[in-house]
């Protein structure tokens, strides 16, 4: 039988202590329990990538992780990608400049994926970016502008202070 168990975690720098249902996925926990609805559910079976968040610095599909498994973890969601002054970060600005989003539904998962990639590999080339992005489905853009935006944002990640979140 499912039941609630207490977990603690930090999300975008804020600490939470919360009871999570044992059958809750991390994405449902973030959306329903923590009310962080920026992370989206596109398929719930680990294919589309819309629910991607960073768990301890690594991009992860949050529909394929149980909420209790995030106990003690440090999580970054799309809500945590902005610059410290509350404005859009370099990656987000590049997305707007290059029209790398249309309906915006897959965008949070693509931003978190790209943020993880560029944090680890700020020199990723277009092939590497496409390779990594192949785990995220976008039905609107055809990906061309997304790749352009991520390429442009690389500069900011080479100088981490500008890259957006430092939390």
Binding to other proteins in span 22-51, by CB under 8 A? 22-25, 28, 31, 35-50
* Region of 115 on the Ramachandran plot (φ > 0 left; ψ -120 to 50 alpha; else beta): alpha
Q: How far is the CB of 54 from other proteins (least distance, A)?
A: 10
> Is residue 5 close enough to count as binding other proteins by CB under 8 A?
yes
Q: How many residues does the chain have?
A: 167
> Is residue 167 close enough to count as binding other proteins by CB under 8 A?
no
Site for other proteins in 69-128 (CB under 8 A): 69, 71, 77-79, 81-82, 88, 92, 95-97, 99, 101-108, 111, 113, 116-117, 126
Closest CA to 111 of 102, 121, 100: 100
Identify the residue among 8, 13, 139, 160 touching other proteins (CB under 8 A).
Answer: 139
Tell me the DSSP string of 12-53.
Answer: TTEEEEEEEETT-BHHHIIIIIS--TTS--S-SSSSS-TTEE
Comparing CB distances to other proteins, the nearer of 37 and 74 is 37
Q: How far is the CB of 96 from other proteins (least distance, A)?
A: 4
> Is residue 133 close enough to count as binding other proteins by CB under 8 A?
yes
Kindly compute the dihedral angle of the four CA atoms of residues 83, 124, 142, 86, in this order, to the nearest 10 degrees. 0
Identify the residue among 34, 132, 156, 163 touching other proteins (CB under 8 A).
Answer: 132
Burial bucket for residue 102 (CB in 10 Å: 0-12, 13-18, 19+): middle
Comparing CB distances to other proteins, the nearer of 4 and 159 is 4
Number of residues that bind other proteins (CB under 8 A): 82
> How far is residue 135's CA from residue 72's CA, in Å, rounded to a whole number?
26
């Amino acid at each position: 039988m499912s039941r609630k168990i207490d977990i603690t975690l930090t999300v975008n720098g804020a600490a939470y202590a919360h009871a999570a249902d044992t059958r809750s996925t991390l994405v449902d926990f973030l959306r329903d329990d923590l009310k962080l609805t920026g992370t989206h559910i596109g398929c719930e079976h680990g294919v589309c990538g819309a629910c991607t968040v960073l768990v301890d610095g690594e991009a992860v599909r949050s529909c394929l992780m149980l909420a209790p498994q995030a106990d003690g973890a440090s999580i970054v969601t799309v809500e945590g990608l902005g610059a410290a002054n509350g404005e859009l970060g370099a990656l987000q600005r590049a997305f707007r400049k290059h029209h790398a989003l249309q309906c915006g539904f897959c965008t949070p998962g693509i931003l978190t994926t790209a943020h993880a990639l560029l944090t680890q590999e700020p020199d990723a080339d277009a092939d590497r970016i496409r390779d990594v992005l192949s785990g995220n489905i976008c039905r609107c853009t055809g990906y061309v502008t997304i790749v352009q935006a991520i390429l442009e944002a690389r500069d900011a990640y080479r100088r981490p202070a500008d890259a957006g979140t430092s939390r």
